[in-house]
Structure 1
Amino acid sequence: MFATVRYGANCQELVNLQCRVLILMAHLERKCHCRPEDNIDLLDESGALMNLSKVENSASEFASKYLQERQRYILIRIIREESTEATCYEPLLENLGKHYPDLADLLQKLSASPQLREQWRRGPMQRRAQSLTSTPARPRPTPQRKKSSELKATPR
């Protein structure tokens, strides 16, 4: 019993539905490079929200109870605005409108807050750039260059 989760730049992850909801969600967070503070969920191709993030006993409930085998799901981020209790649904599949035009419109309508809706419209690249400028940069390890004696000459 497997299902496909779509995310990122048209990436797919095949997931086993015979596991606990908690394990499935942790796997998706890690595999899809979500931030620790992200609240994620799944949306099926017809636009139904799976509400896995609201499963009360996610450590003991199996994902197969909520998801159907051989179906495709879209990974989404749920953003809840604390002051107004508004909720915004952000697709984690880039160019959602290209792949699923109806779902893009549906998510936009579901997003209640005008401020969050505007943030959603800007697109993931601009949001990512905004979040990168607000956090301090970490130094990247630099690869050591090979000595010229270690480089092999390739014939032309």
Structure 2
Amino acid sequence: MFATVRFGANRQQLVNLLCCVQSLTGHLKSKCQCRPEDCIDLVDEKGTLMNLSKVENPASEYASKYLQGRQCYILIRVVREENSEAICYESLLEDLGKHYPDLPDQLQQLSGKTQRTEQRQKGSLQRDQPDTSTRTRSRTTLQSKKNLELKKTRK
């Protein structure tokens, strides 16, 4: 079971899928000259993220569980922003749009989805925890106005 991985200046690497995910990603990092601490993943030609970077036990799970033989994949870098859950996906294949015209937009959409998810989570947390100090102030103001009106009408 083999697959092709594209990266760099239109380079291709034939990879054996009957190995653990950790071995596959380590091999690809060395071939594309990534740093060992870099997080990489693959997308297929349609732009579907393979999520190798999220495999819970990459040392024992086979790559063939996540990838299909005889397919072509594009190597990407997964960049997690500090102090945030936002993720950005960067192609490691130069001139990606030249080879796959739709993929740059799809990578951007994938990156945007993770940012929107984070914003939604933060927004829902803020909505779940109402600002009681503002509500208290507005109630107090309304009560004060009503009391003033009552005093005026009594006079």
Taking structure 2 as the reference length, the TM-score comes to 0.70
Q: Deviations over 1:104-135 (max 9, x none)?
A: 1111122236xxxxxxxxxxxxxxxxxxxxxx
1:29-108 paired onto structure 2 within 5 Å: 29-108=29-108
Amino acid at match of 2:103: L
3-state SS of 2:25 partner:
helix
Return the alpha-carbon distance in structure 1 between the equivalents of residues 59 and 111 of structure 2. 28
C-alpha deviation, 1:11, in angstroms: 0.1
Alignment RMSD: 1.1
Amino acid at match of 2:16: N
Aligned residue in 1 for 2:17:
17
Q: Deviations over 1:43-96 (max 9, x none)?
A: 001111000111111111111111000000000001111223211100000000
Return the alpha-carbon distance in structure 2 between the equivalents of residues 59 and 85 of structure 1. 24
3-state SS of 1:36 partner:
coil
Amino acid at match of 1:57: N
Aligned residue in 2 for 1:116:
none
Return the alpha-carbon distance in structure 1 between the equivalents of residues 13 and 4 of structure 2. 6
Aligned residue in 2 for 1:135:
none
3-state SS of 1:106 partner:
helix
**Where do 5+ consecutive residues of structure 1 fail to align?**
114-156
**Where do 5+ consecutive residues of structure 2 fail to align?**
116-155
C-alpha deviation, 1:101, in angstroms: 1.0
The answer to whether the 8 Å contact 2:26/2:36 transfers is: no
Aligned residues: 113
Q: Is 1:2–2:2 an aligned residue pair?
A: yes
Amino acid at match of 1:69: G
3-state SS of 2:34 partner:
coil
Q: Percent identity?
A: 72
Structure number with higher helix proportion:
2
The answer to whether the 8 Å contact 2:20/2:63 transfers is: yes
3-state SS of 2:89 partner:
strand
3-state SS of 1:22 partner:
helix
The answer to whether the 8 Å contact 2:75/2:92 transfers is: yes
3-state SS of 1:98 partner:
helix
Amino acid at match of 2:59: A
